[in-house]
Amino acid sequence: MKVLLSGAQGFLGGRILDFLLERGWTVRTVTRRPAPEIAARGVETLLADLRDGPAVRAAARGVDGVIHCAAKSGVWGPLDDYLQANLVGSFNVLEAARRGGAAWLVGASSPSVVHSGRPLDGVDESAPYAARPERPYAYSKMLAERMILAADQPGGFRTAALRPHLIWGPGDPHFLPRLKAKAAAGRLWLLKSTALVDGTYIDTAAEAFLAAAGLFRAGRGDVIGGRAYFVAQGEPLTAPDLISRILQAVSPPGQSLKASGLLPAWLGRAGGSVLERAWYLLRLKGEPPLTGFVAEELSLPHWFRLDRLKRDLDFKAPVSLAEGLERLRQHSRRESRL
């Protein structure tokens, strides 16, 4: 069984690669940048931009299945950049998989596809797609997920999409470093909220993809084909509580990183919208210090019923929240000694 993995240089894709190799899968990766660190592990590595259809078709030739994790993530930037990376890229991977003879594809999606600025308070996969997604990332991922699921063919090529929420853990190159830097500089302000938020430890997210791929590999595509699944720890906390615990885990020895304080939720959401508008009108570089989307994520419920994931994939988080935080703490201590 040979699987093509996109996004292997990323946080999630890299951990999926670890697990695939540990379990004896034959892996080919397609990367946008040279990946000598992956090739050194004996992995076949092809260089291609996912927007290049012919190059992607060449990469997918002869594989049995595809795990597609490559994406442009973020809360800011031109819509076309997200559409090119997340929609056009996904289209090319999907077409390459079908033309190359692959039997299945598991795509990485996001809970943001159903985010409409309203509470996601224990919703399940019956929650509708957002009618008018305002964020480029969410819009591009919604289009990509719908396309991937629509490609599922009972008795033929099978597809599924997983929606991990707020992935965190050792090796995170995005969320944790920024969180840590802001706290250390005294510029981390959170929003007052009792709303529950459920994140996903990196190993939980990666294991869910292995579980889905394993079902397809075993010829059980009828179980998950054409379906999307929320993925999370199943242990929701308030956003201030979750972030505070993560900050404690990544605090350097002898320090205790904390948020500078709590702002009223209404003020955060209003301020984020004003900053977005100012950045857009004044064409300022970089992204605003706070956006409306981030303010909504910090102050509105974002937790999900995981019944479908547990039933169809026979899956629950293999690492608890407490164990994940301890692993993050140990990892941070090792890094601080380097």
DSSP-based three-state secondary structure for 8: coil
Confidence band, pLDDT 50/70/90 cuts, at residue 2: very high
Question: What pLDDT shows up at residue 57?
Answer: 94
Question: What pLDDT shows up at residue 286?
Answer: 76
Catalytic pick among 137, 139, 201, 229: 137
Let me know if 82 is a catalytic residue: no
316 in Cβ contact with 211 (< 8 Å): no
Give the C-alpha separation, 172 to 292, whole Å.
Answer: 23
Cβ within 8 Å of residue 270, ≥6 positions away = none
Give the C-alpha separation, 212 to 153, whole Å.
Answer: 16
pLDDT at 280 over 80: no
pLDDT at 338 over 70: no
pLDDT digits (tens, 9 = 90+) for 250-263: 998 888 899 888 88
288 in Cβ contact with 276 (< 8 Å): yes
Question: What pLDDT shows up at residue 94?
Answer: 97
Overall average pLDDT of the 11-39 stretch: 95
Confidence band, pLDDT 50/70/90 cuts, at residue 127: very high
Fold of 2-171+199-234+303-317: Rossmann fold (3.40.50)
**Count of positions (residues) in the chain:** 338
Determine how β-strand 196-197 pairs with β-strand 237-238. antiparallel
Cβ within 8 Å of residue 231, ≥6 positions away = 162, 163, 164, 165, 200, 204, 205, 208, 306, 309
pLDDT digits (tens, 9 = 90+) for 302-312: 999 999 999 99
Write down the domain spans for the chain.
Answer: 2-171+199-234+303-317
Beta strands (DSSP E) in the chain are: 2-6, 26-31, 44-47, 65-68, 104-108, 120-123, 158-164, 167-168, 189-191, 196-197, 200-201, 227-231, 237-238, 261-263, 302-304
Give the C-alpha separation, 262 to 291, whole Å.
Answer: 16
pLDDT digits (tens, 9 = 90+) for 199-252: 999 999 999 999 999 999 999 999 999 999 999 999 999 999 999 999 999 998
∠ CA(268), CA(128), CA(157), 5° rounding? Answer: 125
